[in-house]
C-alpha cells in the first residue's frame, strides 16, 4: 500500500510556504480524520484550525524521524519537530505517534503524545494550540 508519513505531512502542512492548507491536508488526511494530542481529541476541522494557527507562528523548521514502522493500515513513529518561530525563538518537541491509514493511504486517525525538549512554557501547547 502506498501511504503518507509524518515527515511528508508535516513538511506540506508547516514547512512549505505557499502550499494551500486545504491542498496540503487533502494529500495526507482522509475526510473523516481525527487526532488526539496529549489526550485531547480534534476532528479534521479543529485539526486544520490548529495548523492554520501554527502557520502564523512557524517561520521555518525541520522534522527528524528517529523510528518509523508501517504495517498494513497501522503506522507508528517517533520524531522530533524543530520549529523556528516568527519571533526568532526555537522550540523542539519529541512526538510519539500511533496512527491508522484510510484505504487510500492517507491518515484516518493519529494519536500522539508530545515531550517538550526546548522552548518556553508557552510553547508547551504548540501540539494543540488553535
Per-domain boundaries in the chain: 6-125
* pLDDT, tens only, 47-75: 999 999 999 999 999 999 999 999 999 99
21 half-sphere exposure, CB direction, 13 A CA radius: 13
Q: Residue by residue, what is the 3-state secondary structure of 113-128?
A: EEEEEECCHHHHHCCC
**Strand pairing of 58-71 and 29-37?**
unpaired
Q: pLDDT band for position 112 (50/70/90)?
A: very high
Phi, psi of 38 (to 5 degrees): 50, 40
Give the separation between CA 45 and CA 49, rounded to whole angstroms. 6
Element containing residue 98 per DSSP (H, E): strand 90-101
* pLDDT, tens only, 73-88: 999 999 999 999 999 9
pLDDT of residue 122: 73
Q: Out of 1.10.760.10, 3.20.20.70, 3.10.450.50, 3.40.50.300, select the CATH number for domain 6-125.
A: 3.10.450.50
Q: What's the start-to-end Cα distance of the chain, in Å?
A: 33
Amino acid at each position: 500500500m502506498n501511504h503518507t508519513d509524518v515527515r511528508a505531512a508535516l513538511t506540506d502542512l508547516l514547512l512549505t510556504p505557499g502550499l494551500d492548507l486545504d491542498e496540503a491536508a487533502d494529500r495526507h488526511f482522509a475526510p473523516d480524520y481525527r487526532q488526539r494530542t496529549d489526550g485531547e481529541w480534534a476532528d479534521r476541522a479543529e485539526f486544520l484550525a490548529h495548523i492554520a494557527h501554527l502557520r502564523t507562528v512557524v517561520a521555518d523548521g525541520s522534522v527528524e524521524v528517529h523510528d518509523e514502522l508501517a504495517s498494513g493500515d497501522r503506522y507508528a513513529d517517533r520524531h522530533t519537530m524543530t520549529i523556528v518561530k516568527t519571533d526568532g525563538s526555537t522550540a523542539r518537541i519529541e512526538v510519539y505517534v500511533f496512527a491508522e491509514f484510510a484505504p487510500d493511504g492517507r491518515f484516518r486517525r493519529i494519536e500522539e503524545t508530545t515531550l517538550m525538549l526546548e522552548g518556553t512554557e508557552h510553547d508547551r501547547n504548540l501540539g494543540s494550540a488553535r
